[in-house]
Copies of this chain bind each other. A is one copy, B any other.
């Protein structure tokens, strides 16, 4: 039987694919409680030109709405890339119990890479953190997105030079 945590990360990966389809950096997240998805989100920063529309923030806000409660106690978040400082702060604010993520983000990861805001005992909430879940699937999606993006930009440049 597939482990539940793998199943939920696959749901987060489906969200990431939706971002990719919209030309957004493919990152997805879901919030889960007692075997039910309470909130889903994928990166929509470019489409809405809103700096806060990361996958995690959208999934947290939807879970808040579903429960009618800003407290997401006993909820777990699955996200396809290590959260940035903003999203890590939102995870602490909403008191999420546990965070599973795919690969580390060495440039701006705030759940173990550059810092660990999820386990800072000076803040009023700490979260369990489980990195590396379906890491390769998450990474493959990101790498193919950036590879396509570079190829498209290169082609655009060549087309402009031929005009």
Contacts and interface: CB of A to CB of B under 8 A. Distances in A.
Nearest to A45: B70
Interface stretch (A89-97, A138-146, A151-159): A89-97
A52 B45 contact: no
Q: How many copies does the complex hold?
A: 2
Interface stretch (A1-9, A11-19, A57-65): A57-65
Interface of A is mostly: loop
Given A46-B70, A70-B45, A86-B86, A93 B123 contact: no
Interface of A: 45-46, 48-52, 54, 57, 60-61, 64-65, 67-72, 84-90, 92-95, 107-108, 110, 114-115, 117, 120, 122-124
